Structure formats: structure tokens, C-alpha cells
Amino acid sequence: MKTPIVHYKKTIAAAVVLCLLAGAAFLMRVKEAAIPAPLPFVTVAGMPPVPDPRNLYSEIGAGHLSAAVRGDLARIYVPNLRSNDVSVIDPATMKVVDRFKVGISPQHVIPSWDLRTLWVANNAERQDTGSLTPIDPITGKPGQAIAVDDPYNMYFTPDGKSAIVVAEARRRLDFRDPHTMALQYAIDVPKCGGINHAEFSIDGRYALFTCEFDGAVAKIDLSARTVLGYLKLSMPKTRVREGFDPRNPGASEICTTRKGMPQDVRVSPDGKRFYIADMMADGVHIVDGATFTQVGFLASGPGTHGLYPSRDGKFLFITNRGTHRIHGKRRGPGNVDVMEFASEKIVAHWVIPNGGSPDMGNVSADGNWLWLAGRFDDVVYRIDTRDGAVRQVKVGGEPHGLTVWPQPGRYSLGHTGNLR
């Protein structure tokens, strides 16, 4: 039996612990209250709201499949630039289950804003026979192609009212009806040679388009339909030596090239910074969207090309296709780097066994696999996002902007699946 004194002392001790816990909880609430919650963004009319201003990728997380895509086939659609066709891979069996002809020089497979059509952009390089071939994601079969001038790539305005056909050779953005592809209006971008890839601001008011042959970025006001300006990207002091040994990733050379070759572009989860892959600089330029100034550079690998956020919005997969040249050799030193958004540092480096040329692609719906076209090796890579392990599937000639379908998200901004 406990004595009254011992019981009293334990009661006092318990009271003290409760007071300390209560005080800690109070201080935590005060601390949390002192941190202001992010203000909601006023988005353009018709654009779906941004649920989490701290992470605009919140709605592409694993399990966030829209009801609109739940009856669609699980497939990887691969446009083969040189053989003018599309290879269709069943990701469960890792086999090509279909292959069909499309227009000349298919570059990218692009999910529509409403997620109901996959468009193959056939830009017919150096010819005037460009077209867009629709694919029904329920059956995986192509429909009748629509003649469109120079569709190298395609995006959609955040409100879903227009498809933006990137007419690369014309230095022009053609805004078209997202269903019929009838021309609505166009924006000339005369100082943007090789205009090709794009990303949109968190509020949908502007977009950045890369200018591959001018080493620059163009900022487009989507509401005013005007070019706000151009930003010439600064080259780093050193870069990766052409043909370096992939077992020696530190190999480098003095960068004497004054002009970069920017490719894909993606925005940070909070919408403040834009990351721009540059295949001549071998890394990623970092641009402040609001001030439209370059604020940093992150070295990556040879021929930095594609950028894909992880399903949880914490990492950015960076593809390096192994060369500074537009047409490279087989089994080059291509690789993939993983950047952590929070620190803007490379946290993993994945080498393609026996060499390769990882280019464009996307992440599986569950986030476990990064699917990429092996541009110069006529294969597709499936890379395990947990450890970088690689498997390959043989496809057609010179695969380019493949898409993984279905993907989580409410709507598509285009390219190979820039969903939000």
C-alpha cells in the first residue's frame, strides 16, 4: 500500500508533467499561428483552383486518377520520329502490343486538357504536311488525322479554351479550338528560334517557352496575347566533355559555347522558380518567374533534356541524353539525375547500363516507374524510381516524346503529360 506522502509526491509530479505538456502544445499552436498560411492564388477565369499553393503538383499524386480516365487502357504510347509510327507498350507485360502509322515525323504524344484524347504531333520536318493524329485512350486506337501547320509540340491554356500548337519552324504559337483544331488566333515570337517546350505560371497568367536555337526563354502573357520579353540564358564555366566515360561523371571541359540549347521547362511546387534543361550547358538553369531573371544553375549530365516531377512533388527527374548533338550515337553516356526541389541539389544519379540516350517521357500513375524514350537507341527505358534499376523495350526508329497513360490529375496542360 502506498503511503500518503509518496502518493502526494507522484500526484505533484504528474501535475507538473501535464502542465509542461500543455505548455508545449500551447507554444506549438503559437508557433504555427505565427507562420502565415499561403494566400490563395487568384487564377485566370476558367482555370481550376490551386488546392495547395505550396505544391501545385498536389493533384498529380498517386491515387488521384480522375473519373474521366478510369476506363482507359494502361499503355505507353511512343512516337517514333524516324519510322513515322507509334509503338504501344503494355506496361504490365513490358511488350509492344500494337504499332500504327501516323503522319510524318511524330514528335510527342500529348494528353488533351479534358483527358479524353491523346494527340500525336506530326510536324513533318522541313515539309508542309504537318498533322495531329488523335488516339482514343479507351481503345488505344488512332482516329483520322487533322492537317495542322508545323505542330512540333502542343500545350493547352489553363482554362482549357485553346490548344497551343507550337509551330517551331514558324516561330509562332497557334491557338486552336481544343477539339476541332480550327485556328482561333496566333502569337508571333520572332526572337525565339526553335520555340518548343513550355511551362505555365501557378495562376495561369503567363507561360515560359524555350528558344532552342537562340539560347533563350520567351515569356508570354496569355491574357494580353503578347510577348512580355526574352531572357538570354547564361552558360556555365564548365560542362561535361563530349563522349566522357560514364564511370567518371566528374569529367568536364571549359565551356567555350556562348549560347545554350534550352529544352524542357518545369515550375517549382510553389510556382516561384522555373527549371530549364539545357543540352549544351549540361544542366538546369533556374529562373525567377516573377522578375524573369536567371537566379541559378544546377550542373547535371551531358545533353540535359527532359524534366519530370515525382508524384509527391518532392523531386525532379532530369534526363541527360548523353550528347550535345541533335543526332547522337548509340549507347552514349546518357543518364538520369534526381533533384530535390527543397534543396535544389542532386540526390541520386542513375546510369543506363551499357550506355543509352534517355530523352522524353513521364512517370507511371503509381510513381514507381519513370518511362523514357531511348532517342538514339530505338528503345524505351523503364526506370525504377526507388533505386534506378533499368529495363528496356525495343520500339521503332528514333523514339521521342512518349506519354504514359493514364496519369493522375484534373486536367492537362499538354506536352507528354503536364497535369495539374
pLDDT in tens, 210-221: 999 999 999 999
State how far the Cα of 22 lies from the Cα of 16, in Å rounded to an integer. 10
Among the residues of 192-282, which ranges form H helices?
none
Question: What was the pLDDT predicted at 197?
Answer: 98
pLDDT higher than threshold 70 for residue 376: yes
- Whole-number pLDDT of residue 394: 98
Per-residue pLDDT band for 251 (boundaries 50, 70, 90) equals: low
In this structure, of 27-31, 359-363, 412-416, the range with the lowest mean pLDDT score is 27-31
Selected residue with higher pLDDT from 242 and 160: 160
Q: Rounded distance, CA 142 to CA 129, Å?
A: 18
- Chain-centroid distance, C-alpha 242: 25
**pLDDT value at 161 more than 50:** yes
pLDDT band at 356 (very low <50, low <70, confident <90, very high): very high
Question: 388-398 pLDDT, tens per residue?
Answer: 999 999 999 99
pLDDT of residue 252: 83
What's the pLDDT at 39? 59
So what's the pLDDT on residue 242? 86
Whether the pLDDT of residue 30 is over 50: the answer is: no
* Residue indicated by cell numbers 499552436: 29
Query: What is residue 33's predicted lDDT score, i.e. its pLDDT?
Result: 46
Mean pLDDT of 245-273: 86
Q: CA-to-CA distance for 5 and 71, rounded, in angstroms?
A: 71
Q: Is the dihedral of CA 180, 184, 188, 192 positive or negative?
A: negative
pLDDT of residue 247: 57
Instruction: Measure the CA–CA gap between 221 and 226, rounded to whole angstroms.
Output: 5
Phi and psi at residue 280, to the nearest 5°: -95, -25
At position 336, the amino acid (one-letter code) is: V
Q: What does the pLDDT read at residue 227? A: 98
Does residue 13 surpass a pLDDT of 90? no
151-156 and 273-278 strand pairing: unpaired
- Are 356 and 332 in contact by the 8 Å Cβ rule? The answer is yes
Give per-residue pLDDT as tens, 271-287: 999 999 999 999 999 99
Residue 18, number of CB atoms within 10 A of its CB: 10
pLDDT confidence of 2, banded at 50, 70, 90? very low
pLDDT value for 246: 56
Query: What pLDDT shows up at residue 42?
Result: 87
Picking from 53, 367, 4, the residue whose alpha carbon sits closest to that of residue 202 is: 53
Quick one: how far is CA 366 from the chain centroid?
A: 16
Mean pLDDT for the stretch of residues 105-116: 98
Please give the average per-residue pLDDT across 255-267, as a whole number.
94
Backbone angles phi, psi at 303, to 5 degrees: 70, 45
Going from the C-alpha of 218 to that of each of 185, 209, 235, 419, the distances in angstroms are 18, 5, 17, 22
The predicted structure's pLDDT at residue 281: 96
Radius of gyration of the chain (CA): 24
Mean pLDDT, rounded, of the chain? 91
